Amino acid sequence: MRRFLLICCIGVAGLALPTGALAGKPASFKAGAYNGKANSESVTVTLKRGSCKAAAGDPKSSLKLCVSLTKAPEFQCHTPTNAAISVTAFATPVQLPASGKITQKTTVTQEGFPGAAPNTGEATFGVVFKKNGTAKVTLSLLLNESFGAQTVPCTGSVTYAVKVH
């Protein structure tokens, strides 16, 4: 009986050892350039290993991953000026939170008609990374264009499914 117990204990220990060794590190987000297209407009988001500042309102993360919008489409405003607005404010890398989700907002200013006040609004960049090397990117713009006493909104939002290359 004691031999049987000894053999069972050795067998259980033998099975537990390889399982613990296989557990290893948990999966992480994949660094690289994430590319995608929507409506013939392409976008590139870069996720790099390194140190960078946390985005406003986000806690400091231990991931050591930095995200930036390296290529963004122009938003077309179909108003009396038919302006094309570039959103370049999200090119500075910021730290990716442990959740893999980040949303940034910035003020957008565009020159108006000569003698008129500049047009102002807000641009938003959001990305949700998955550990399988894919992400969902959302870009949106709300700009109020002034034409004398009249204000015309220019709005747009595009969502991209992107994959690391």
Structure tokens at 101: 């989700």
Structure tokens at 120: 């102002």
Q: What are the residue ranges spanned by the domains of the chain?
A: 26-164
Angle at 108 between CA 104 and CA 113, to 5 degrees: 170
Token pair 């993360």 is found at 61
Q: Is the pLDDT of residue 20 over 50?
A: no
Q: Quote the CA–CA distance of 135 and 165 in Å, as a whole number.
A: 12
Q: Quote the CA–CA distance of 93 and 44 in Å, as a whole number.
A: 13
pTM of the model: 0.76
Range scoring the smallest mean pLDDT among 35-44, 62-71, 114-123: 114-123
